[in-house]
Amino acid sequence: MADPRIEVTFAGHIATITVSRPEKLNALDLDMLKQLDAACDALETNAQVRVAILTGAGKAFSAGGDIKAWAAMTPNEFGHAWVRFGHRVFERLATLRVPLIAALNGHALGGGLELAAAADIRIAETQIRLGLPETGLGMVPGWSGTQRLVRRFGAQIVRRMVLGGEVFSAAEARSFGLVDHVAETGDALATAQAYAERVARRGPAAVEVAKLMIASANAEDNGTAVEALGSILVAKTADLKEGVSAFAEKREPVFKGEW
């Protein structure tokens, strides 16, 4: 059964994923991670979707991982069922075929900031705070806080958040490149929707390929990007059609090198 704490809605070419657990500041547990994974399936298989928005319900974007959800786990469970699985889910969000826009309506801390970092564009309301406080609990960021965030935003700003426990305002985060736009309180989702409509008006195939190319240039999942681009290109060739026809007809293919 779908977890109601992860809501997925569709409107035209725009999909919206809402983390809806406001009484816990949208902290994530294992069932919510599984439903985020299912949300990725829904977006990937819906050909009408050209752009997606990720946001939170209530006053927070996400406080990250729910401490009560992992505190009683054995080290093996924590490393595999929690960290490794969560890492895979966030990687799926980061590598969606469509651009993902994070509408930060409230604080994004720890895993919440790692969740926001999976998006291609981040729009933050002016009152929010962003940080990676994990070392204050005696742990380290586990959902790519020391990996994707370093690649996307630079090592020094991540050092300040992880080693020094610094927490930044939206304006500070904008100056560091952690967020792309700052909106007034209550306006993050509307601003994200306007930006999503802007993206949706552009060529969807070009946007998808450009996202892969940018990820490759930034050393993010190069193997997937190269194979996806290569497969898309080859899938359009006359040689592939000939190969499939020859297989079905049980004959040798006659390739002509035609694109």
Q: Are residues 105 and 154 in the same domain?
A: yes
Q: Of 165, 182, 200, which marks where a domain is finished? A: 200
pLDDT at 19: 97
C-alpha–C-alpha distance, residues 179 and 61, integer Å: 13
Residue 11's domain comprises 6-200
**DSSP secondary-structure letter at 246?**
H
In a domain, 161, yes or no: yes
Q: Are residues 148 and 30 in the same domain?
A: yes
Q: Which of 91, 114, 125, 220 is catalytic?
A: 114
What value, to the nearest 5°, has the Cα angle with vertex 21 and ends 136 and 14? 110
Q: Are residues 78 and 107 in the same domain?
A: yes
Q: Clarify whether 114 is annotated catalytic.
A: yes
Token output for 210: 């450009």
- Kindly state the helix (H) or strand (E) to which residue 69 belongs, with its residue range: helix 67-70
Q: Are residues 116 and 209 in the same domain?
A: no
Kindly indicate the confidence band of residue 165, based on its pLDDT and cuts at 50, 70 and 90. Answer: very high
pLDDT tens readout for residues 37-95: 999 999 999 999 999 999 999 999 999 999 888 888 888 888 888 889 999 999 999 99
In a domain, 256, yes or no: no
SS3 123: strand
Q: Clarify whether 258 is annotated catalytic.
A: no
Q: Are residues 102 and 86 in the same domain?
A: yes
The tally of domains found in the chain comes to 2
Q: Of 200, 215, 232, which marks where a domain is finished? A: 200
Q: What is the mean pLDDT of residues 175-197?
A: 97
Burial tier of 249 (Cβ tally within 10 Å: 0-12, 13-18, 19+): exposed
pLDDT at 127: 97
Q: Are residues 225 and 130 in the same domain?
A: no
Q: Which of 23, 44, 125, 134 is catalytic?
A: 134
pLDDT at 145: 92
